[in-house]
Structure 1
Amino acid sequence: GGNSLSDLIVFGKRAGEYAAKRAKDLAQPSIDDAQVDLAITDMLAPLERDGGENPGRIYDEMRDMMQAKVGIIRTKNELEEALDDIKAFKERALACSSGTSRKYNSGWHQALDLLNMADVSHAATLAAITREESRGGHTRDDFPTPEDDYWGKTLNIIWMENGEMKIRQEPVEEMREDLKGALKEVKAMIADRAAEAGGGN
């Protein structure tokens, strides 16, 4: 029920609508059987490995590390340590074992989730190191103020063919006039309500 819930609803709806529209406009792609076979092999790998770590342990340790080093207050040193930790977690995840059962096997699900967790954690940490300012939910203890002149832009994660992640900076698109008008109305409404509440005391 926090601030993120409204973001999820609004941008989830927008993303879904535009993804569906784009999909309708595209030709049906051909499916590479080799890619399908590779995906199946990767998916089944945790079931077929013996003697690896319990994925639940790695899952918990990665979560705790991200809370500690890439949490609310961030510093360059901790973020750099986190990148090294994430690399080590991914290596452990690639060697973990989930047992052999395909039924109700939460360890198997965690083993597959771990790789995605590591990639998302890597992207978030890399962006946090790059953005040398504090803005919104991103707080850098070593850069405590916003820097609009340089950092008033978006950071996009680019996934290279060799698996490396890179950051691409792009200017923030200017807000549409209708949105500016709506925002102005909301601010005026908030100010009016605050004045009414203050006048009633």
Structure 2
Amino acid sequence: MSRSASKPLSLEDRILWNKVARTAEPLKGKSLDDLALPDDDTMDELKRLVAPRSPETAPTLPGQKPAVAPKAHPTRRIDKPTHSKLARGRLAIEGRVDLHGLTQSEAHGLLMSFLSRAHAEGLRHVLVITGKGASLGSEGVLRKVLPQWLATPPMSGFVSGIDEASRKHGGGGAFYIRIRRHRSLA
């Protein structure tokens, strides 16, 4: 399948690809300057998504109305039966996002985009991988700050529960997140 016939990468995929591309060694005879830059406004859009902003504003895609998050609720733990079903694979993890190696601002933008899309698509349970932290004895910056992000607007409007993932799904370096259901306007 040719690249032109495939569907375009999502913003999350582009962020991940740019992160990987920065760590790759160019082929012999090529330099990073020889690589073509994206001809669209992808980089501007990515910078806009990961730029520091007030917590009340949610990122929007071009041509999309700004998302208005539901009222904030304190985030609570996922109940034990649901956690057990997720850990054993009896309840599907419908989406996952890996925040390894991202800065806090990049991770915040990617997580906000991921959660708003998961909520819009009606997903119920997702996995967020933060990693455990690189330093010996360190808890990891993203691991520590994730629950704080999820407890504040606008993310708190998309999340109804959070719990540490089982060892099978990453243990201390990952979290199960239950996404709020859409409320009907009837």
Report the structure, 1 or 2, having the larger helix content. 1
* TM-score band w.r.t. shorter chain: under 0.3
Larger radius of gyration: 1
**Relative contact order, higher structure (CA 8 A, sep 6+):** 2
